A and B are shown apart, each in its own frame.
Chain A
Amino acid sequence: MSRAIDVVVVGCGVIGASVAYYLSRTGASVLVIERGDLASGTSSACDGNVLLVDKKPGFDSLMTYESQRLYDSLEQELEHDFCYRRFGSTLAVEDEEQQQVARDWARTQQQAGLPLRYLEARKVHGDEPMLARDIIGLLECDSDSSLDPMRLVFGLGLGARRYGARFMRFCEVKSVLTDSRRRVKGVDTTEGAVACGSVVLAAGVWTAAVAERIGVHLPIIPRQGQIVVAERCTQPGRRKIMEFGYLMTKFGGAHSRRVEPEMDKHGVAFVYEPTADGNFLLGSSRQFCGFDTRVDPDVVKLIARRAMRFYPCIADLHVIRTYVGLRPYTEDHLPIVSSVKEVPGLYIAAGHEGDGIGLSPITGLLISQMITSQTPRVPIEPLSIERFRPKSTSAV
């Protein structure tokens, strides 16, 4: 039963699990090596949003839309229920300046064939009776959905196992092993060396450290975020809502929200997600603070305050939990889904920042297509590691 291993996947969060699933489905022999338990990193410290509504028009949106379509299939393919609910998502618009940008955004995306539209206030408050009355409109996206990330990881894992994938948990990959021509020949782990033909690094914020050990520099750093969990209740909103200002914060653009300076300092922007279990999750914040996953009570206060601005009715509901996750951030907010030309057999699938859940299906599919030499579902050049490297200037 000692079949040679074609691919070792390092990491079993949403990305690693998805890579394992799509790869093993092609018939490749896959071994997933995870240093903890399944979904023990960022994938159990995040929310469950699958969002197109906040993506830049162009490649970002098209890749996301393809990923969403894969989710519709995954819901049927995976035996394990991951609470997938496609009820769309919305961005709340507070003023005329935001409204103008939101309308233009909707129009651009509609022209690209994407299901976004702008709803005026009159249409909004009937559907969202608990939303603050001074919200003047909603940008809505129909194809957005919500799911349970941990159940998704377990589902993808079970699916991969059904196709023959094997798993080693509580085992850490220390380095990738290469031959004299720097070609991948295996991995070195805390339980000894494992030989394989290819390696996919899908270890989220910990990927850069592994790659560094073989001289491959990955510009992926942790961008910390906090989430507040509310008790089971009559959820104030039936579907996901965020503030339009969220877009500006996410991309670091200049936009003057009418908020206290502390909100901008911690990158706090309203994100609301009702869960299948009856709670709701609130975010969001962004801070560069290394690998610090301690909860900052000041940020909790700001998230609570911002949420009450949009849903005043939550004042007497209770917060039961807060947690912190580390998003794997890259400068251009796109992940690295790429081969590494100087190390044949090495692939990177990391750097998804806050879109790991949304992009996990397309990432898994693209890696499986790259490794088995099939045509990629979407162009992969924008996701290549090469985009971070200085262009060669020699003309010879």
Chain B
Amino acid sequence: MDELVICRCEEVTLGQIRDAIRDGAKDLAGVKRRTRAQMGLCQGRTCESLISRILCEETGLAPEEVKPGSVRVPVVPVPFRVLAGEANE
């Protein structure tokens, strides 16, 4: 089960996430900093809810106690030429 890939963009497994929690990660940001999960192309859109659930299972937190990951522009990948062009793109 530990080999199950949770963050597909960065290929972070369930085992690695559990290790991160054991090493002290208490929230999504803590898991991110220790494993790179959520740092890939989809920025956690696929894995965030899975990691939240793992955090709850491992630490006993209630789902509503898990702080959501920070959202930054761009919310989807955007080519440089578009970002460098019109400010309103």
Question: CB within 8 Å of B: which residues of A?
Answer: 37-40, 44, 150, 154, 169-170, 230-232, 277, 295, 297-298, 300-301, 304-305, 307-308, 314-323
B73 sits at the interface (CB 8 A): yes
Contact check, B77 vs A231: say whether CB atoms are below 8 A apart: yes
User: How would residues 57 to 89 of chain B score, 1 for a CB under 8 Å from any chain A CB and 0 otherwise?
Assistant: 000000000000000111001111101110100
CB distance from B88 to the nearest CB of A (A): 9
Which B-chain residue is minimally distant from A148 (CB atoms)?
B36
**CB-CB under 8 A for A321 and B80, given A37-B30, A44-B33, A169-B24:** no
CB distance from B57 to the nearest CB of A (A): 19
Contact check, B73 vs A314: say whether CB atoms are below 8 A apart: no
Residues of chain A contacted by B24 (CB below 8 angstroms)? 37-38, 169
- In the assembled complex, the Cα of A316 lies from the Cα of B41 at a distance in Å of 15
B26 sits at the interface (CB 8 A): yes
B54 sits at the interface (CB 8 A): no
Contact check, B84 vs A301: say whether CB atoms are below 8 A apart: yes
| Secondary structure type dominating chain B contacts | loop
**CB-CB under 8 A for A318 and B79, given A37-B33, A38-B24, A39-B33:** yes
Question: CB within 8 Å of A: which residues of B?
Answer: 23-27, 29-30, 33-34, 36, 39-41, 43, 72-74, 77-81, 83-85, 87
Residues of chain B contacted by A319 (CB below 8 angstroms)? 74, 77-80, 83
Given contacts A304-B83, A319-B80, A321-B74, 12 further A-B contacts (CB under 8 A): A37-B30, A37-B33, A40-B29, A44-B33, A232-B41, A301-B84, A316-B80, A316-B81, A318-B78, A318-B79, A321-B43, A322-B73
- In the assembled complex, the Cα of A305 lies from the Cα of B89 at a distance in Å of 14
CB distance from A330 to the nearest CB of B (A): 27
Contact check, A37 vs B29: say whether CB atoms are below 8 A apart: yes
- In the assembled complex, the Cα of A38 lies from the Cα of B27 at a distance in Å of 12
Residues of chain A contacted by B79 (CB below 8 angstroms)? 315-319
Which A-chain residue is minimally distant from B81 (CB atoms)?
A315
Contact check, A321 vs B72: say whether CB atoms are below 8 A apart: yes
Contact check, B33 vs A320: say whether CB atoms are below 8 A apart: no
Which A-chain residue is minimally distant from B38 (CB atoms)?
A321
Contact check, B84 vs A231: say whether CB atoms are below 8 A apart: no
Which B-chain residue is minimally distant from A323 (CB atoms)?
B72
Contact check, B72 vs A231: say whether CB atoms are below 8 A apart: no
- In the assembled complex, the Cα of A39 lies from the Cα of B74 at a distance in Å of 24
- In the assembled complex, the Cα of A300 lies from the Cα of B23 at a distance in Å of 34
Within 8 Å by CB of B73, from A277, A295, A315, A318, lies: A295
Contact check, B83 vs A301: say whether CB atoms are below 8 A apart: yes
CB distance from A285 to the nearest CB of B (A): 14
CB distance from A320 to the nearest CB of B (A): 5
